[in-house]
Structure 1
Amino acid sequence: MYHKNHRRQFKFEAYWADEVEAKQIIEKGWEKQVHGSWIHKWKAKLQHCTTLLKKWSREKFSNNKKRMEALHAELNEKQLRWDENHVKIKCITQEITKTGAREEQYWHQRSKIKWLP
């Protein structure tokens, strides 16, 4: 049964593992000074990491569809003058590939979730 105060369970996104920033965020979250028993410290640090990762992910990956559209539009514009923009075209193409792979990994991870009726 769904309750209004029910929070979505935290899930580590597989594509975060490819991001250097994710490791830095986890290290920062784990450095938090907490007092109490070891289990309380562990739980508080884990919660802090969770909060930091969610915030970072929302800011960095909030709208992949719009990002892809913008990258494709920029690529189309740069390809009109290939000779002047070949370096930029390569960078945009790499970013499109990376963003597409991230999106594919996201949906692959979601396909493994066992949905409840």
Structure 2
Amino acid sequence: MGSDHCPFSVLLSHKQVLGPKPFYFESYWIDDEECHQIINFGWQKMVPGGPATNWVAKLDQCRRDLKLWSKTKYGSRKEQLLTLSKRLEEMQGNIDQPRYLIEAEAISKSIDDLWKIEEQWKQQSRINWLSAGDKDTKFFHLSTIQRRQKNIGK
């Protein structure tokens, strides 16, 4: 007699398919004049169609332009901070020469600006946590699920 069981195989690896990164307007962009120019340029474009189509097209164009601008201007803040810090360390040995002093001051100002941006970004996270923190909210449940998924991946 044969067995009534059927063999099967199970694939245990899980590939997480990531979609495009969602667009978020960053609060520190407001302090940058280029951001205002990009938005003004996007809204001045003439787009064929009705008012609703026109509004959606301009909004989409602004989103694309801001995303590209942010990527090129700010890129990875952590990488920029690391690069600028290394450059500043190299220059500190030659600080007695006037041209190095001016460049060191400019690099130091850039580092301060990047830290200010980083602090603004972290501040938003703190505000979200303080306002919705341990309450029985969708925010709390999503943050715990996200933390669990992150811990499983490690």
* TM-score, structure 2 as length reference: 0.66
Q: 1:18 maps to which residue?
A: 31
CA distance in 2, matches of 1:9, 1:77: 38
Greater relative contact order (Cα < 8 A, sep 6+): 1
Change (3 A) 1:5 1:66: closer
Change (3 A) 1:5 1:94: closer
Corresponding pairs, count = 114
CA distance in 2, matches of 1:97, 1:49: 28
Q: 1:41 maps to which residue?
A: 54
CA distance in 2, matches of 1:99, 1:7: 25
Identity of aligned pairs, percent? 32
Secondary structure of the structure 2 residue equivalent to 1:80 = helix
Change (3 A) 1:5 1:96: closer
Change (3 A) 1:112 1:51: farther
Q: 2:11 maps to which residue?
A: none
Structure 1 residue runs without a partner (length 5+): none
Q: How does 1:54-73 map to 2 (within 5 A)?
A: 54-73=67-86
Secondary structure of the structure 2 residue equivalent to 1:44 = helix
CA distance in 1, matches of 2:23, 2:89: 38
**Higher Rg of the two aligned structures:** 2
* TM-score, structure 1 as length reference: 0.84
Q: Give the drift of 1:6.
A: 6.4
CA distance in 2, matches of 1:72, 1:43: 42
Structure 2 residue runs without a partner (length 5+): 1-16, 133-138, 143-154
Alignment deviations for residues 67-103 of structure 1 (CA, whole Å, 9 cap, x no partner): 1011111111111111212111111110000011111
Q: What is the one-letter code of the residue matched to 1:93?
A: S
Secondary structure of the structure 1 residue equivalent to 2:28 = helix
Which one is further off, 51-60 or 4-13?
A: 4-13
CA distance in 2, matches of 1:11, 1:112: 16
Secondary structure of the structure 2 residue equivalent to 1:56 = helix
Q: 2:118 maps to which residue?
A: 103
Q: How does 1:70-81 map to 2 (within 5 A)?
A: 70-81=83-94
Which one is further off, 85-94 or 35-44?
A: 35-44
